[in-house]
Amino acid sequence: MALLGQMMSMPLLISSLIQHAARHAGDTEIVSKRCEGDLHRSTWAEVELRSRQLAQALGRLGLSAGERVGTLAWNGHRHLEIYYGTSGSGLVCHTINPRLFPEQIAWIANDAQDSALCFDLTFLPLVEKIAPQLVTVRHFILMTDRAHMPAETSIPNLLCFDDLVAAEDGHYTWPLLDEDTASTICYTSGTTGHPKGAVYSHRSTVLHAFGAALPDAMACTRRDVILPVVPMFHVNAWGLPYSTALVGAKVVFPGPHLDGKSLYELFEKEQVTFSAGVPTVWLGLINYVSSQGLKFSTFKRTVIGGSACPPAMLATLMDDYGVEVVHAWGMTELSPLGTLSRLSSKHLALPPAEQRRLLEKQGKAIYGIDMTIIDDARRELPWDGRSAGNLVVRGSWVISSYYGHEDTPLIPVAGRDGREAGLWFPTGDVATIDEDGFMQITDRSKDVIKSGGEWISSIDLENIAMAHPAVHEAAVIAVAHPKWDERPLLVVVTKPGASLTRDDMLKFYEGKIAKWQVPDDVVFVNEIPHTATGKMLKLKLREQFRTHTLPSA
C-alpha cells in the first residue's frame, strides 16, 4: 500500500506569491509610468495591502467566488493590484486586449460573462462606446483617482478605483482556495474565427511562475530591475507579474509609453536590468537608440518572443549593445512559456558563429513542458534538426480545453517506438527539433508555403530579408502558382530614407538559401498589418495579394 508523504499541505495559490513578496521584499519598489502622466512609486507591501483592500471592495460590490473581472489596461500598479486582488480572493482575472476592435472586445467580455470591468483612463471613450453591449457587466471601474474622474460620462454609476480601495481597511485574510480553482482567463489572439479563452488555475500559474523564473528561462533575481514591455493584457505579460513577486524583484511598468524614446528614458532612470517583449517593440527601441547614438547603462538581458526574433535583431542587441538576447517561444495556451534558447555546457566550446545559430532558434523546453514534432499521421518525427513537423506540447501549464468548450483540443500521439505516448496539445506551429532538443519554428502551419510538394519556411525567408540594411520589416506569403501550386512572395517595408530595388533584394538571397526557395517576387508596401499582439497579419496580406501575378506564372 502506498505510503503518503508527511509534509505540510500548502496549496499553490496566487495569494502566496504576493504574500511572499510583501513579507520578504516589502520595501522593494514597484514603479509605474501611468496614463495620467506621472511616475508613481509603490512597493510590494503597498501592492499587497491595496490588493487586499480591492478584494474587500469587490466583495462589497457583491462579486463572489468564480465571477470574472475584466480589465482593459496598460502595465501599471493598479493592474497588478487587480491581478492579485481578484485571483487572490477567488475571483477570476480576465485581461482583455484593448487593441482589438471594439466589437471583438465586447464579444470577449460577453463570452467570459465579466461581472465587472476595470479600465484605464485611456479607454474611457472605448468603454463608453461599448458599454451598452456589455450585458453581464454590473460594475464599471475607472482605474484612476478622484481627481481624474470625468465630469460626465454615459457610463451609469462609474466607480473610481482609488476611492474603492481607500474605503477599505485591509483587514482581510486571503482565502484558502483549492489550487485547481480558475485564477485567470486569457483569450487567444486568434487571427481567424472567434477568440477562445484559456482558463489558468492557481496551480498552473504558480508552477509557470517557478518555471519562468529559472536561470535557463527568464532568470529573475532579487537583484534585477524588471520592466515588462510585453503587456499585462497579453498572456499575463508572460507571467512576469507572478515571477517578479516570487523572487521579490523591483518592477518598472511603462504604462502606455511604449515608444523608443519613452522606454529608453525609463530604462535609464530606473536602472532596468531585464526586459521582455515582442520583436516589434524592440524595433522601435533600437531605432531610437541607434539614431541618437545612445547606449544602455544597466540593461543587460532581454527575452524576445511572441513571433520569431530576426537574427539581425538578435545580432544588433548582442553585438552592438551588449544586451544578452534570449529567444523564446510560447503561446496563450501555454501560459505562455514553452521554450527558451540558452546554450548547454557542451556548447560552450563551439565557435561563436555556431553558438549564435543555436541562440537564433526558439530553444529548449523548460521543465514543466514537454514537446515533440509529429507527422500528419500523428507519429513522432526524429529530432534531427531537419525533419519539420507539427509541434505538440504538454505540461503543467498547458490547457486541456477552452472556456465554455467541453471538447478537448488534445490529440493522441504515437511515440517513436510505436507506443501510445499520451495526449498532447497541437500548437499549430511547424518546427524542427535538433539532437540537443533545440526547437526551431519554421512556420505557422497555415503560413507554410507548399511549392511542388516541398515546404518552404516563410520565417527563413523573412529572416534573410530582415538582415538587409534597407529593410525595416518583411513578410513572406504563399501566392497561387499554376505549376508549383504555391510560390513565395516577399512583402517589404523599407527603412525611412532607404532605397531598395526588387532585383537587389532578390540578389541578396543568393548563396543564403537553395535557389528554388528564393521568393518569386517582391512588393514594397508602407506598412505590414499586425495583430493586436504584434504578430504580422498574414491572412490580411494573403487577401491583399491574392490576385498578384508572379512573373514566373
Ligand X SMILES: Nc1ncnc2c1ncn2[C@@H]1O[C@H](COP(=O)(O)O)[C@@H](O)[C@H]1O
Catalytic sites, residue numbers:
188, 333, 450, 455
Q: Which of residues 519-548 bind ligand X (CB under 6 A)?
A: 533
Find the part of the chain contacting ligand X (CB under 6 A) among 42-50, 63-71, 299-307, 369-377.
299-307
Cβ(157)–Cβ(169) below 8 Å: no
The three cell numbers locating residue 4: 503518503
The three cell numbers locating residue 401: 480545453
Number of residues located near its own copies, criterion CB under 8 A: 83
Torsional sign, CA 330, 391, 445, 512: positive
CB of 314 to ligand X, least distance (A): 11
- Binds its own copies (CB under 8 A): choice among 344, 501, 549, 552: 344
Q: Which of residues 160-179 bind its own copies (CB under 8 A)?
A: 177-178
- Eight-class DSSP state of 470: T
The three cell numbers locating residue 425: 496539445
- Binds ligand X (CB under 6 A): choice among 63, 142, 326, 331: 331
151 scored as a contact of its own copies (CB under 8 A)? no
- Binds ligand X (CB under 6 A): choice among 307, 457, 458, 517: 307
429 scored as a contact of ligand X (CB under 6 A)? yes
CB atoms under 10 Å from CB of 131, counted, come to 17
The three cell numbers locating residue 314: 538578435
- Reference 93, options 185, 16, 159, 175; nearest CA is 185
Pairing of strands 274-277, 301-304: parallel
CB of 117 to its own copies, least distance (A): 18
Window 436-475: contact mask with ligand X (x via CB under 6 A): -----x--x-------------------------------
Identify residue 74 by its one-letter amino acid code.
Answer: W
- Binds its own copies (CB under 8 A): choice among 40, 129, 148, 222: 222
Cα 76 to the center of its chain, rounded Å:
17
CA dist., res. 5 & res. 145, Å (int) = 50
CA dist., res. 188 & res. 428, Å (int) = 13
Cβ(83)–Cβ(89) below 8 Å: no
Q: Which does 151 bind (CB under 5 to 8 A by kind): ligand X, its own copies, none?
A: none
Window 198-237: contact mask with ligand X (x via CB under 6 A): -------------------------------------x--
Find the part of the chain contacting its own copies (CB under 8 A) among 51-59, 116-124, 240-248, 524-532.
240-248
303 scored as a contact of its own copies (CB under 8 A)? no
Residue with cell 518583411: 474
- Binds its own copies (CB under 8 A): choice among 30, 47, 54, 92: 92
CB atoms under 10 Å from CB of 440, counted, come to 25
**Binding site residues, ligand X, CB under 6 A:** 188-189, 235, 305-308, 327-332, 336, 362, 427-429, 441, 444, 533
